[in-house]
Amino acid sequence: MKSLRVQLTATIAAVLGLGLGALLLIAGLQLQATTLEAFVHEKELSVLAISSSLPGLGDGDDSGFNSPTLPSRLVNSATQVGMEISLFNKYGDLLATTHSMTPEIDNAPEILDAFQGQVFHVIRDQRLFIAVPIFHEGKDVRAVLWGDTSTVPVDNKIRVQWIELIAASGVTLLIACGFGWGLASRIIHPLINVQRAALHMAKGNLNVRSEVKNASSELVQLSDSFNHMAQEVETLVIRHRDFVANAAHELRSPLASIKLRAESLLNPSIDPSRAHQYLRDINEETSRLAQLVGDLLQLSRIEGHEIAPPTEPIEVANELTNCIRRIRPRAAAKQQQLTYDIPVDLPDVFIHANELDMMVGNLLDNAVKYTPEAGHITLAAAWQDKTLTISVCDDGEGIPPADLDRVTERFFRVDRAHQRAIIGAGLGLAIVSAMAAQYGGQLILKSQGIPGQGTQATLQLRPRFSHQSS
């Protein structure tokens, strides 16, 4: 397979070659015609000059034709212009000639044409023949002066001109190919940089980037796009590694607890009450593992678009009220004040009820977890511009601003010492964010990270809605 550089250079050379070839043909033919025309014109003037230098030929009588010096003057004139000259009277008789062989008027039609009163020329057998009429008082043709000369000199001149044109075109094409090669190299060099960066990334060096400078805007944009893709790939791989490490950590802790208690239960001398407690611990850890695996599967199905779209609308107000009812006992246990503002005229929308419960339930669960005792939690809902907005606000610990962009990542948890004892795998907000995107919406988190000012979590969903309810 030919390289792109060779293909570009060959294309440039082909285009320029065709253009130069056409230009060469046009210029060569034009130059050839001009050169030949100049040669013919020069010889016509020479024959005309000879006709003017022979006195007495235009007189009314034939005295000039019978002059004994006519042949010698004709020879001298022919020698000066380098031509062979013959003189015919109006009857077609040969009066004088410098030709070695006696010319025959029947073999020279241009002579007969010249008797019509015009100068004629013709090229035959690499010789130029010119017939010039001689007039009596500018009216009657009394004689024709016929000359010929070899066209070999002008043919050679034209041949040299063609050679020079071809050579100049060839040099021009070579120079153009050189520029084309340089241009192709300038185009290819940034692509080679991108290719090398891609190969390094394929070998695992994810922090490599393509550097393209002093190139066309399209190539610079290509390099920027590649670097953006490389950044996304690196981020994705890092998140994947973190996910594997976090998943292993989240699985290791309950498994280690289960293993330790199972080994203790194998001891026949274990106290029955302690054994019963160990069984309860194992059951709790098993439930925790089941919840973790279930959340991971749910998140995988959402991100893989494996969940079928809803076919029936639900009453949003009722579902939100159920979420409040389910979380209220936990809030009451911490003496937290739970208030809500749910308009009764919210339209029925096409959302899976269990998914809406999971999204709102996760937000309320986090609010209860991270809000201190006697704190305040508020849920509000609204429908505007075909968008369902659900907000959960609390006055708890809040989220540091630096962590707001990461709290929706899998297994990410805010690293605060007093929050480490709170049970959770860090998958709740990741699930909420993925589900919101499934309904054309998003999860927006706002917090100053100041204890007491809490967090505002807002769901913005754009589901299909029932026109009958609206």
The tens digit of pLDDT for each residue in 154-169 reads 999 999 999 999 998 8
CATH number at residue 454: 3.30.565.10
Least confidently predicted of 32-46, 200-214, 398-412: 200-214
| pLDDT given at position 456 | 94
| pLDDT given at position 422 | 56
Least confidently predicted of 235-249, 325-339, 383-397, 444-458: 235-249
Residues 341 and 297 in one domain: no
What are the φ/ψ torsions at residue 30 (nearest 5 degrees)? -65, -45
Angle between helices 272-303 and 428-438 (to 10 degrees): 30
415 pLDDT band, cuts 50/70/90, is low
Q: Is residue 469 part of a domain?
A: no
| pLDDT given at position 418 | 41
CA angle 103, 108, 114 (to 5 degrees): 115
Mean pLDDT for 70-91 is 86
Query: Are β-strands 387-394 and 442-447 bridged in parallel, bridged antiparallel, or unpaired?
Result: unpaired
Least confidently predicted of 25-34, 72-81, 200-209, 235-244: 235-244
Nearest partner of 430 among 413, 447, 446, 410, judged by Cα: 410
Residues 347 and 443 in one domain: yes
Residues 295 and 373 in one domain: no
Q: For residue 449, what are its two tokens?
A: 């990270």
Residues 121 and 255 in one domain: no
| % of the chain residues with pLDDT over 70 | 91
Q: Quick check: 359 and 323 in contact, CB under 8 A?
A: no
Q: Is residue 164 part of a domain?
A: no
Q: What is d(CA 285, CA 178) in angstroms, rounded to the nearest whole number? A: 74
| pLDDT given at position 138 | 67
Q: Is residue 278 part of a domain?
A: yes
Q: Is residue 211 part of a domain?
A: no
Residues 225 and 108 in one domain: no
Q: For residue 116, what are its two tokens?
A: 């019509």
Q: Is residue 240 part of a domain?
A: yes
Q: For residue 207, what are its two tokens?
A: 């922090």
Q: Is residue 225 part of a domain?
A: yes
Range of the domain at 51: 4-157
pLDDT digits (tens, 9 = 90+) for 121-144: 999 989 999 999 988 766 788 888
Q: Is residue 46 part of a domain?
A: yes
Number of domains present in the structure of the chain? 3
Residues 260 and 127 in one domain: no
Q: What is d(CA 411, CA 399) in angstroms, rounded to the nearest whole number? A: 15
Residues 299 and 320 in one domain: no
Residues 299 and 322 in one domain: no
Specify the pTM: 0.52
Domain boundary pick from 252, 274, 303? 303
Residues 391 and 259 in one domain: no
Residues 10 and 150 in one domain: yes
Q: Is residue 248 part of a domain?
A: yes
CATH number at residue 144: 3.30.450.20
CATH number at residue 271: 1.10.287.130
207 pLDDT band, cuts 50/70/90, is confident
| pLDDT given at position 392 | 94
Residues 117 and 243 in one domain: no
| % of the chain residues with pLDDT over 90 | 29
